[in-house]
Amino acid sequence: MKTGIKIALSLALLSSLSFGGEQFAMSDSDRAMYAEMLENNPADIMVAHGEELLSDMGGDAGLAKYLGVSESELPKYIAGFPRYIEKFDMVVGLGQALQAMMHDTGKKVLKLDSSDMNDMLAYTKSIANDEPINIDVNANQHMKDAYALGQITFDTKRGGRGLSCLSCHSPDVIGTILRTQPLPDLGVNNSGGTWPAYRMTKSNLTTLQGRMQGCMKNALLAVIPLGSPDIVALEVYVTDKAKGKAIAIPGLKR
């Protein structure tokens, strides 16, 4: 990742983590750890591994050919995921597109929750680093339907606690402290452009869909399966909130 992007991300994250008073800020040791990881993100090794995995399927050129775009157009194209792909006749996330490529090229199809898939997905999305998110939720009826389903999924209260994604990310509660951290604005925080990311508290690389599942588990909600229409639609909805912001992979999250 370029140094300029790293600095911008660090300022944004440190600002958000100290929101609401110093009692909710990072500890000095956490700040020092974050600063060190910013320059040496552990996920960089995982992204490099993902590049090796993609190279077995022809690398960037092979992916571009499979997706039907030129290699020079690939970064911009990736910045538009999730998107409707005609040969699949469905709206898919980038991970599903990689799975389809594995299948069609005779490779072992990795599970969406595997570490190898996370690594490959992180590398593939990093091809679009510096590109603005250009997801088009009005491109066709498929995308319109996915966006609508994503909004319903985001807004609908579920589980015994009656919680939804909106419960923690509505304009009315953004900045409120929960478990010592401020609830973020998903658009301002560029959630669509900074996942997959390395989570300091989990010591692993996590995708956006994986992070959504983590939120569901924390809220005691039934977990929506990775790659399902509902979670892809939720990714469409959340990614659209960050439209126009630059992709910066791998992200670094507390």
Query: Are 197 and 187 within 8 A, CB to CB?
Result: no
96 with 141, same domain? no
Q: Are residues 63 and 116 in the same domain?
A: yes
* 211 and 117 in a common domain: no
* 243 and 140 in a common domain: yes
Residues 147 and 119 in one domain: no
Which structure tokens are listed for 84?
Answer: 């409707």
Average pLDDT, the chain: 87
pLDDT digits (tens, 9 = 90+) for 88-107: 999 999 999 999 999 999 99
Residues 106-139 pLDDT 10s? 999 999 999 999 999 999 999 999 999 999 999 9
Instruction: In whole angstroms, give the CA distance from residue 46 to residue 25.
Output: 29
**Pair 152, 235 in one domain:** yes
Do residues 92 and 159 make contact, with C-beta atoms less than 8 angstroms apart?
no
Same domain, residue pair 241 and 175: yes
Specify if 21 maps to a domain.
no
Higher pLDDT, 44 or 16: 44
In a domain, 100, yes or no: yes
62 and 167 belong to one structural domain: no
| 26 domain residue, yes or no | no
Distances 56 to 48, 93, 110, 207 between C-alpha atoms, Å = 13, 21, 13, 22
- Number of domains forming the structure of the chain: 2
Residue 45: exposure state from Cβ atoms within 10 A (0-12, 13-18, ≥19): middle
The confidence score (pLDDT) of residue 200 equals 85
The single-letter code of the amino acid at 122 is: A
Domain boundary among 126, 145, 168: 126
231 and 142 share one domain: yes
Q: Tell me the C-alpha distance between 214 and 204, whole Å.
A: 13
What backbone torsions phi and psi does residue 205 show, to the nearest 5 degrees?
-90, 130
Report CA dihedral (71, 238, 244, 76) to the nearest 10 degrees. Answer: 10
| Distant-in-sequence, close-in-space partners of 96: CB < 8 Å, separation ≥ 6 | 88, 112, 227, 232
Percent of the chain at pLDDT exceeding 70: 83
Asked which of 20-29, 42-51, 183-192 is least confident by mean pLDDT, the reply is 20-29
136-162 residue pLDDT tens: 999 999 999 999 999 999 999 999 889
Residue 50 sits in which domain range? Answer: 43-126
Residue 12 has pLDDT above 70, yes or no: no
Helix, strand, or coil here: 132?
A: strand
User: 171 and 99 share a domain?
Assistant: no
Choose the final residue of a domain: 107, 126, 145: 126
Q: Which CATH number does the domain housing residue 203 bear?
A: 1.10.760.10
Which of 93, 108, 126 is the last residue in one of the domains? 126
What's the rounded Cα separation, in Å, for the pair 51 and 53?
A: 5
Residues 184 and 218 reside in one and the same domain: yes
In a domain, 34, yes or no: no
Predicted structure pTM score: 0.85
pLDDT in the model for residue 128:
98
Residue 33 lies in a domain: no
Q: Which residues have C-beta within 8 Å of that of residue 167, sequence separation ≥ 6?
A: 157, 173, 219
Co-location of 121 and 173 in the same domain: no
Report yes or no on 198 lying in a domain.
yes
- The answer on pLDDT for 48 being more than 60 is yes
